[in-house]
Amino acid sequence: MKLLDRRKSGILMHISSLPGDGGIGTLGENAYEFIDFLKMTGQTFWQILPIGSTGYGDSPYQSFSAFDGNPYLINLTDLVDNGFLYLSEIKNTDLGSNPEKIDYGKIFKNKLDLLRLGFSRAKSVIQDELHSFKNDNLDWIEDYTLFMALKKHFNYKSWLYWDKDIRLRKKKALSEYGKRLSQEKDFWLFTQYMFFKQWHKLKKYANEQDIYIIGDIPIYISTDSCDTWVNHDLFYLDKNKHPLQVSGCPPDGFSDEGQLWGNPIYNWKAIEATGYKWWIKRIKSNLKLYDVLRIDHFRGFESFWQVPFGHSTAKGGKWVKGPGIKVFNAIKKELGDNLAIIAEDLGFVTKEIHELRKKTGFPGMKVLQFAFDSREASDYLPHNYDKNCVVYTGTHDNDTIMGWLKKSGNRADIKKAIKYLKLNRREGLNWGFIRGAWSSSANIAITQIQDLLGLNSKARMNIPSTIGNNWKWRLKKGCLTKKIANKIYNLTKLYDRNNTKIIN
């Protein structure tokens, strides 16, 4: 039986939200402790957000690469254990003073400085390991390290505003910059070596505990990314390599102006002519990192919203047909039919999108917070589910359940939710939502860690179409109490989703 065909459950929390010292969640001790918590409470899945390096707005959905790991998430204790850093150096570095909120400005400057210091001491010691890692990742690492070295050289400006010769990847410029920035390239190689060494160790531990990682990839690539810089021909760009059209979605429940994401639009005809080579490479790479892969904005494969570059909102866009089933047929031909993939098919879902998802066989998503529109019936109500789906109390784009109930939700919708789920304060309003998901017929049920803890809107991870206060939330140390552990375990066992022995 495939992993997603089993009746199981899990918790959604990004690595950056883990508690602990160091200003941001990492792949260190607290990640292992969270896996132990999942094991103890009968969960099967830990769902995270994309793990690539974060660029504009600190969003994990706007990464510098489709293949890299975020250096911010590296556990510095490993460098101490290997003698590459001193604990006092970390303690004397300002990585942020609020244990429940990430200060990305300090992480960007000061944590990268610590990694540079560690690299200066490590490079001669681990030279063979770095060389081996580089050889194992030749299909992306050379371009990536040069791209990041160039980012620093040009004061982290977007590659669209680099000098013309290197922006257009002239052969002579690539060679000269590669030689001139060799030391900086080696530093970024070191960050990737450290990240993936820690990542694979953590994932191995999770799998040994029968905990499986659900990863996440955005459908689109950031404009300011190595992938766009290297693969000009796969996107609609002008002669100066600036986007002609960019991504987004039309006005919806999240925003009256629509969402202007700003990613370059794929040239699907050019991609098809390559046999979808780049997409196959991307999916293959991610399925090595995760046990299950969630593809964000799946509907974009059927039809996508494109907006002329330079528009200030997404309202002036239009729908354009995507590649449809052809891209997935190519992926399955190369990688096999039994792909553990979840299709994020949220938003305005048409008959064509339903048909595309069914053709792929991938389970879609149901968000319980969206189920209670008092104006009409909803496919997100549990009695409408088929088994081949994943139900969420909410996602990283939602308000928390308690925030929705007390602040942001429509009163009529809330009244319907209370009646349908039989919500009551004795059980806990958030627990009524979790019960609704866990008791449903969906094969997989997931709750955000914020909903498990009953946190308010201050714990929200992201507000779509806004910049400046997203992706910062962190879990407070000690919040995952024995009482909460027992409560979620008992609910998991009651609805036949458990994956471990009873808690003593």
**pLDDT recorded at residue 378:** 85
| Average pLDDT of the chain, as a whole number | 95
Determine the 3-state secondary structure of 370 from DSSP. Answer: helix
**pLDDT recorded at residue 254:** 64
**pLDDT recorded at residue 178:** 98
* Nearest-5° Cα angle at 499, 498 to 504: 80
Separation between Cα atoms, residue 118 and residue 350, nearest integer Å: 52
Catalytic residue flag (residue 184)? no
Q: Taking 60 as the threshold, does the pLDDT of residue 242 lie above it? A: yes
Query: Which comes out higher in pLDDT, residue 416 or 464?
Result: 416
pLDDT digits (tens, 9 = 90+) for 109-130: 999 999 999 999 999 999 999 9
pLDDT digits (tens, 9 = 90+) for 428-459: 999 999 999 999 999 999 999 999 999 999 99
The amino acid at residue 226 is C
Q: Taking 80 as the threshold, does the pLDDT of residue 324 lie above it? A: yes
Determine the 3-state secondary structure of 188 from DSSP. Answer: helix
303-308 and 212-217 beta bridge pairing: unpaired
Sorted by sequence, the CB contacts under 8 Å of residue 486 that are 6+ apart come out as 503
Separation between Cα atoms, residue 198 and residue 193, nearest integer Å: 9
Q: Based on the number of CB atoms within 10 Å of its own CB, is 33 exposed (0-12), middle (13-18) or buried (19 or more)? A: middle
Sorted by sequence, the CB contacts under 8 Å of residue 283 that are 6+ apart come out as 293, 331, 335, 339, 341
Separation between Cα atoms, residue 266 and residue 247, nearest integer Å: 9
Q: Give the Cβ contact number of residue 444 at 10 Å.
A: 29
- Residue the block writes with tokens 């531990």: 205
Determine the 3-state secondary structure of 365 from DSSP. Answer: strand
Q: Taking 70 as the threshold, does the pLDDT of residue 306 lie above it? A: yes
pLDDT digits (tens, 9 = 90+) for 458-493: 999 999 888 889 999 999 999 999 999 999 999 999
Q: Taking 70 as the threshold, does the pLDDT of residue 234 lie above it? A: yes
Percent over 70 (pLDDT), the chain: 98
Among 296, 302, 399, 413, which one carries the catalytic annotation? 296
Q: Taking 60 as the threshold, does the pLDDT of residue 102 lie above it? A: yes
Catalytic residue flag (residue 334)? no
**pLDDT recorded at residue 1:** 58
Banded model confidence at residue 503, pLDDT cuts 50, 70, 90:
very low
pLDDT digits (tens, 9 = 90+) for 13-67: 999 999 999 999 999 999 999 999 999 999 999 999 999 999 878 999 999 999 9
Among 344, 345, 399, 413, which one carries the catalytic annotation? 344
What is the distance between the terminal CA atoms of the chain, rounded to a whole angstrom? 30
Mean predicted confidence (pLDDT) in 75-85? 97
pLDDT digits (tens, 9 = 90+) for 174-192: 999 999 999 999 999 999 9
- Residue the block writes with tokens 């589910």: 385
**pLDDT recorded at residue 253:** 67
Mean predicted confidence (pLDDT) in 246-265? 85
**pLDDT recorded at residue 502:** 38
pLDDT digits (tens, 9 = 90+) for 331-355: 999 999 999 999 999 877 789 999 9
Among 21, 352, 397, 427, which one carries the catalytic annotation? 397
**pLDDT recorded at residue 500:** 56
**pTM for the complete prediction?**
0.96
Instruction: HSE, CB side, 13 Å, CA atoms: give it for residue 190.
Output: 25
Determine the 3-state secondary structure of 398 from DSSP. Answer: coil
Q: Give the Cβ contact number of residue 142 at 10 Å.
A: 15
Query: What are the C-alpha distances in Å from 91 to residues 78, 80, 88, 100?
Result: 15, 12, 5, 18
Q: Taking 50 as the threshold, does the pLDDT of residue 151 lie above it? A: yes
**pLDDT recorded at residue 277:** 97
**pLDDT recorded at residue 501:** 45
Catalytic residue flag (residue 413)? no
Separation between Cα atoms, residue 389 and residue 474, nearest integer Å: 28
